[in-house]
Amino acid sequence: MVDKSNEYGYVPSSPTQAKGANTGIFEVNDVTDLLLAGQWITQTEPDNLNLIYEYTFTGSESAVTILSTDIDSSVYRTLYIVGDLEGTSMTSMSFNVSQDDFSTIYATNGQRGTMSMGTTGSATRTYSNTSATLGNLTEALSGDLTFAYTLNNLTDSFFTTLTGMSQGYNGSSVKSLFGYGEFGSASFNSFKFNIDNVDAGSTIKFYGYVSA
């Protein structure tokens, strides 16, 4: 790191950066040096699941777009996505991915599979191998809707996959939906959820894991 200046009074030598044992004062130039070296980490603790991004609905969205400036997908091989939504006449949620912050949507066809289970025990399954978007991740309903999905292999030369479950309560019955999708071998940097009529204050949260 650069030498310290005493222009504004005494500043000790460059700080020591060590997990759980930082000493000294991190000045702007210290942070810049660490960023350039890829050694400055904010809000991310290695070997733990970290909340890295949270989106709160305003109540007027028809889509939620997560860009590379929101989440650095090159840092995370896997993202864990959870939602806690409420709304009136919410549409079923679909999902898109992109390699360039949605200048273009990833064109290779994905796959999707869904299973809807009602409180009566009846089940309905659907499958499509020609869907460029992953549709029907959630039920279309009015009420409470929660979901949890895992997005894997974002920066590896493997198929990127989205897998998880949603559960909604529409005031009279519970609807559960299992969904999955494959998006081909690519490095994705942006994601989009398409859903209407979500109440303000509902959230989608992204968690990430980085090994030490």
Per residue in 106-116, pLDDT (tens digit) is 655 455 666 66
Per residue in 42-88, pLDDT (tens digit) is 555 666 788 889 999 999 999 999 998 898 877 787 899 999 999 99
Q: Taking all residues of the chain, what is their mean pLDDT, rounded to a whole number?
A: 77
Q: Whole-angstrom Cα distance, residue 195 to residue 62? A: 5
Domain ranges of the chain: 1-40, 43-209
With a cut of 80, say whether residue 102 has pLDDT above it. Answer: yes
- Predicted pLDDT of residue 202: 97
- Predicted pLDDT of residue 95: 87
- Predicted pLDDT of residue 73: 76
Query: Which two structure tokens, joined as six digits, stand for 38?
Result: 């890829």
Query: Do residues 125 and 114 touch, judged by C-beta distance below 8 A?
Result: yes
- For residue 154, which of 183, 129, 194 has the smallest C-alpha distance? 183
Which of 2.40.128, 2.60.40, 3.60.21, 2.60.120 is the CATH number of 43-209? Answer: 2.60.120
**pTM of the complete model beyond 0.75:** no
